């Protein structure tokens, strides 16, 4: 069980890093303070391209792996392995 715990901890660190990176690569949707003062005029077109949709899919996949690793690590900690 120690090997499984180490694998899950490494997976958690890697997925955390990739989750942050994929979220930061997303295009801003606006609605913040900069839009209130006219900064969001350049992003008026809200169409999503193929790259943005693929990035959404990758982000969701990484988020699911991240969630699964946290749940499994929690179960291992709960049952004392």
Residue pair 1/77 in contact (Cβ under 8 Å)? The answer is no
Q: Tens-digit pLDDT profile for the chain (81 aa)?
A: 899 999 999 999 999 999 999 999 988 776 555 555 665 555 545 556 898 899 999 999 999 999 999 999 999 999 976
Tokens of 42: 């350049």
List the domain boundaries for the chain: 1-25+51-81
CA 8 to CA 14: how far, in whole Å? 10
pTM: 0.74
The three-state secondary structure class of 44 is coil
CA 81 to CA 77: how far, in whole Å? 6
Closest CA to 3 of 22, 21, 24, 11: 11
């Amino acid at each position: 069980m120690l090997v499984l715990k180490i694998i899950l901890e490494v997976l958690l660190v890697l997925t955390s890093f990739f989750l942050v990176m994929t979220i930061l690569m997303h295009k801003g949707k606006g609605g913040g303070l900069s839009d209130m003062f006219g900064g969001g005029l350049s992003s008026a077109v809200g169409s999503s391209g193929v790259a943005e949709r693929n990035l959404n899919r990758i982000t969701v996949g990484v988020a699911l792996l991240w969630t699964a690793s946290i749940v499994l690590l929690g179960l291992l900690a709960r049952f004392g392995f």
